[in-house]
Structure 1
Amino acid sequence: MTSLSDETDGRRGVSVRCGHNASVGVEFRDRFNFDEDSVHYAVELRAPGLTARVDEVVAWTWDSDLALFLDELAADYRGWDGERIWRTDDRDLSVSAVFRSGGHVALNWTLRPWPQAAGVWDASVTTWLEAGEQMTSLAADLRHFLAREDR
């Protein structure tokens, strides 16, 4: 399940909750425009015993964005073989998708900040969504969240 919300300070956010376990989720929040070529945002992963956050994931305007990747998954609601992967240029956020029986998609969200630094860490959670409507809703919510404020 996904939801687009306005935070108390007026900023938008997107929540993704696992269809099999509502305590597992991903939050997109604190979006800001640093310049005309990028949008920056925070991503937080949650699961029982785990909270991981990267404060500044960067989406470049010329790059293939996450909403487009999710749109393509939603368009293939009847399924596909193998794993599909999307990641930011900096590789601090990646999403892999696998179609499962019953019309569900397993989305594995991985945070890996500072991949070139010493002492690097990563964390992952998997959310399960319905292949059609829930994927379409997530894509639309993220597109709205990532849209530049000055457009």
Structure 2
Amino acid sequence: MTSSDGAIDDKPDVTMRSMDNAAVGVRLSETQPFDEGCVQYVVEAWAPGLTARIDEVVAWIWDADLAAFISELAADFQGWEGERTWKTYDGDLAVSAVFRSGGSIGLTWTLRPWPDVAGGWTASVTTWLEAGEQMSSLAADIQHFFAEESQ
């Protein structure tokens, strides 16, 4: 699930691929300080016929953060009804989660840069992960991804 190209100077990244189709995935990378109380990072999503990237997603420490959202999903590995959602304060990245019988979680990653600008674009991919170990591993990886920049 996590990946790095192994270069010594590289910052951590998190890559997840759908267990149903390895050609579908999402990558979080290139964290950097943006302002006091926030970090900026890159989100890439891909699927057959689609490649999308947002270069400047901002995570604010006072905002409900992605790491906490994914950790809560991992803790509820026995499932839930309906859809759970999270988004950045600016609305340029949103994640929705559903639980399906058989113990897997679908995470739909929606990239929407400049959501208030006319003529903008939106792209979504869904990664399916095993509700137990894969989600727990993803939660730990995302926590580590954001923690590296705060040090």
Provide the TM-score with structure 2 as the length reference.
0.95
**1: CA distance between counterparts of 2:118 and 2:149?**
35
Instruction: Give 1:32 deviation, angstroms.
Output: 0.3
Question: For residues 119 and 12 of structure 1, what CA distance do their matches in structure 2 show?
Answer: 33
Deviations 1:12-48 (A, max 9, x none): 1110100010010001111101222101000000111
- Asked if residue 19 in structure 1 is aligned to residue 19 in structure 2, the reply is yes
Which residue of structure 1 lines up, in the alignment, with residue 70 of structure 2? 70
Figure out how many residues of one structure are paired with residues of the other and give that number. Answer: 150
- Equivalent residue letter for 2:134: Q
Superposition pairs for residues 125-136 of structure 1, below 5 Å?
A: 125-136=125-136
Identity across aligned pairs (percent)?
62
Note the C-alpha offset of 1:66: 0.6
Q: How does 1:63-142 map to 2 (within 5 A)?
A: 63-142=63-142
Question: Which range moved further: 70-79 or 7-16?
Answer: 7-16
Q: 1:40 to 1:96 in 2, by over 3 A?
A: same
> Structure 2: which 5+ residue stretches go unaligned?
none
- Alignment TM-score, normalising by the size of structure 1: 0.95
Runs of at least 5 residues in structure 1 that lack an aligned partner in the other structure: none
Q: CA RMSD in A?
A: 1.3
- Higher strand proportion (structure 1 or 2): 1
1:93–1:7 distance in 2 versus 1, CA, 3 Å = farther
Paired residues of 1:33 and 1:148 also in contact (CA < 8 A): no
1:110 maps to a residue whose letter is: T
Q: Distance in 2 between matches of 1:149 and 1:108?
A: 25
